[in-house]
């Protein structure tokens, strides 16, 4: 199976540069460091390597505690972090200045082989459920203990895997261990026929820590807002900004901080605000709000915790329209009441648990959201009730990074 897969991928590989060129039209960062994606001109590291793969921003941020544990315990090793997206790569560079940050190679046989021959990782940890057959298969050949950590396999995904399990499971069974977020994932992998080590460790996204630059970034943002009250719309998706702008009350003595999910949409939001004659500033301008400014465009990377810290209320983007929501844990970590819509299927367990704990409110539609925000701004008791339960929620589910560390460090 792996031979046929590799051959088919080889046949379509000439299309990959065209794909990068296409993506580069919207985001020029896709045109940078392309050699890493093909395993070309890689630099041999000076130290032994601990390798962690995190596909994008959320997965990268979820490694902070684990990387700290590994770095502190094994200073003779260097951390190699691989990403798939430019935003993930930028986040990794900001968070881990002493690490090697690199794109994961495309799952081509020779690209993966060159990657392993160059870095020779002592251990590999793939965050979440990223299944790349060549990457996994060749790890065994190069005698690299490879773990799937923070693994999540929903019932829907399980059904998809189950249709092809006779093709997939010979690959997945090359993994040294699968470290699961919860029991359903463990049972799903067991039912698929995984024969390696299966353990429930929890979700590392709860194990948040403040980055080194947090205080300086927060201070910079405080100078911009000058004690104004902030309502944050985080990680908004296409079409949601228009709904927000149609329904927010610009007469209120508050500033609306809108942070589009994708950087290529920062300028699109600015154009929308100009067409609507709404006064705004961009975070990247780093200048104080004028008296008539009503919107801040959060057009920076790696500052989400500081954005939450200066906000009164956080509304989770991707949940207003049907995008499945975004991760709300960083807002809870900052003790901020969180509001999200009906579409949170990508974070369904976190959404349910936070609602059960009482630190979040789910709204039915954009009009209902407006009413909830108005209530929170005038009802101090309700606001404090939500705020005080954030720490309770986070404390209850922390510790996954330590449990992963306790397992993988036996291979170092």
Within 10 angstroms of residue 168's Cβ, the number of other Cβ atoms is 18
φ/ψ (deg, to 5) at 199: -140, 145
Q: What is the pLDDT of residues 267-287, one digit of tens each?
A: 999 999 999 999 999 999 999
Residue 162, both tokens: 């189950």
Examine the pLDDT at 1 and tell me if it is beyond 80.
no
The pLDDT, as a whole number, for residue 218 is 97
Q: How confident is the model at residue 156 (pLDDT cuts 50, 70, 90)?
A: confident
Judgement on whether residues 163 and 20 belong to the same structural domain of the protein? yes
Judgement on whether residues 178 and 294 belong to the same structural domain of the protein? no
Judgement on whether residues 218 and 360 belong to the same structural domain of the protein? yes
The pLDDT, as a whole number, for residue 302 is 83
Annotated catalytic residue within 36, 59, 240, 303: 59
Q: How confident is the model at residue 303 (pLDDT cuts 50, 70, 90)?
A: very high
Of 201, 234, 266, the one marking the end of a domain is 201
Query: What's the mean pLDDT in 59-79?
Result: 96
Of 172, 201, 230, the one marking the end of a domain is 201
CATH assignment at residue 40: 3.40.50.11720
CATH assignment at residue 303: 3.40.50.2000
Of 178, 201, 224, the one marking the end of a domain is 201
The number of domains in the chain is 2
Least confident of 1-5, 108-112, 146-150, 315-319: 1-5
Catalytic (active site) residue 59: yes
**Distant-in-sequence, close-in-space partners of 229: CB < 8 Å, separation ≥ 6:** 253, 254, 255, 312, 377
Query: What's the mean pLDDT in 287-294?
Result: 95
The pLDDT, as a whole number, for residue 26 is 87
Q: Percent of the chain beyond pLDDT 70?
A: 100
Output the CA torsion 125→44→39→408 (10° steps): -10
Q: Percent of the chain beyond pLDDT 90?
A: 93
Q: How far apart are CA 233 and CA 260, in angstroms?
A: 8
Judgement on whether residues 218 and 188 belong to the same structural domain of the protein? no
Report how far apart, in Å, the C-alpha atoms of 57 and of each of 82, 286, 327 are. Answer: 11, 23, 11
DSSP state of 193: T
Judgement on whether residues 190 and 303 belong to the same structural domain of the protein? no
For residue 374, tell me if it sits in a domain.
yes
Q: How far apart are CA 17 and CA 44, in angstroms?
A: 24
Provide the β-strand partners of residue 295.
256, 280
Provide the β-strand partners of residue 296.
257, 281
For residue 240, tell me if it sits in a domain.
yes
Share the mean pLDDT of the chain.
95
For residue 207, tell me if it sits in a domain.
no
Judgement on whether residues 344 and 287 belong to the same structural domain of the protein? yes
Judgement on whether residues 231 and 351 belong to the same structural domain of the protein? yes
* Closest to 148 in 3D by CA, of 174, 113, 169: 174
Burial class of residue 116, CB neighbours in 10 A (0-12, 13-18, 19+): buried
Q: What is the pLDDT of residues 315-365, one digit of tens each?
A: 999 999 999 999 999 999 999 999 999 999 989 989 999 999 999 999 999
Judgement on whether residues 174 and 249 belong to the same structural domain of the protein? no
Within 10 angstroms of residue 97's Cβ, the number of other Cβ atoms is 10
Judgement on whether residues 130 and 196 belong to the same structural domain of the protein? yes
Judgement on whether residues 187 and 257 belong to the same structural domain of the protein? no
Query: What's the mean pLDDT in 97-118?
Result: 97
Judgement on whether residues 287 and 258 belong to the same structural domain of the protein? yes
For residue 209, tell me if it sits in a domain.
no
For residue 412, tell me if it sits in a domain.
no
For residue 403, tell me if it sits in a domain.
no
Examine the pLDDT at 155 and tell me if it is beyond 90.
no
The pLDDT, as a whole number, for residue 301 is 85
For residue 406, tell me if it sits in a domain.
no
Report how far apart, in Å, the C-alpha atoms of 348 and of each of 325, 354, 377 are. Answer: 9, 10, 27
Examine the pLDDT at 158 and tell me if it is beyond 80.
yes
Helix (H, G, I), strand (E, B) or coil at 10: helix
The pLDDT, as a whole number, for residue 152 is 92
In which domain, by residue range, is 38 found? 2-201
């Amino acid at each position: 199976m792996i031979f046929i897969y590799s051959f088919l991928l080889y046949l379509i590989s000439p299309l990959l540069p065209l794909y990068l060129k296409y993506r580069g039209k919207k985001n020029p960062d896709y045109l940078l460091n392309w050699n890493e994606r093909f395993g070309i001109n890689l630099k041999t590291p000076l130290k032994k390597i601990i390798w962690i793969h995190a596909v994008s921003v959320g997965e990268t941020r979820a490694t902070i505690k684990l990387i700290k544990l590994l770095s502190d315990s094994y200073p003779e090793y260097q951390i190699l972090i691989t990403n798939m997206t430019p935003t993930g790569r930028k986040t990794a560079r900001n968070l881990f200045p002493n690490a090697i940050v690199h794109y994961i190679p495309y799952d081509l046989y020779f690209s993966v082989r060159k990657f392993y021959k160059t870095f020779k990782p002592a251990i590999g940890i793939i965050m979440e459920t990223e299944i790349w057959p060549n990457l996994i298969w060749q790890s065994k050949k190069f005698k690299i203990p490879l773990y799937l950590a923070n693994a999540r396999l929903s019932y829907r995904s399980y059904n998809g895997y189950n249709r092809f399990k006779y093709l997939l499971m010979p690959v997945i069974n090359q993994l040294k261990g699968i470290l699961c977020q919860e029991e359903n994932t463990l049972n799903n992998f067991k039912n698929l026929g995984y024969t390696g080590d299966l353990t429930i460790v929890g979700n590392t996204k709860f194990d948040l820590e403040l980055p080194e630059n947090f205080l300086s970034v927060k201070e910079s943002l405080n100078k911009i807002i000058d004690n104004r009250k902030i309502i944050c719309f985080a990680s908004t998706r296409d079409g949601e900004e228009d709904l927000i702008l149609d329904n927010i009350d610009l007469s209120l003595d508050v500033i609306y901080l809108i942070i589009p999910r994708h950087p290529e949409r920062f300028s699109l939001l600015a154009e929308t605000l100009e067409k609507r004659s709404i006064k705004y500033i961009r975070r990247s301008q780093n200048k104080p709000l004028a008296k008539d400014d009503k919107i801040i465009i959060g057009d920076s990377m790696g500052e989400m915790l500081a954005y939450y810290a200066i906000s009164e209320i956080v509304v989770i983007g991707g949940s207003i329209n049907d995008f499945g929501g975004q991760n709300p844990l960083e807002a809870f970590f900052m003790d901020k009441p969180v509001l999200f819509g009906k579409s949170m299927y990508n974070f369904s367990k976190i959404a349910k648990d936070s609602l059960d704990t009482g630190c979040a409110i789910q709204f039915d539609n954009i009009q209902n959201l407006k009413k909830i925000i108005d209530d929170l701004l005038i009802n101090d008791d309700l606001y404090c009730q939500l705020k005080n339960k954030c720490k309770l929620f986070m404390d209850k589910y922390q510790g996954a990074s330590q449990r992963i560390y306790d397992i993988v460090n036996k291979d170092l």
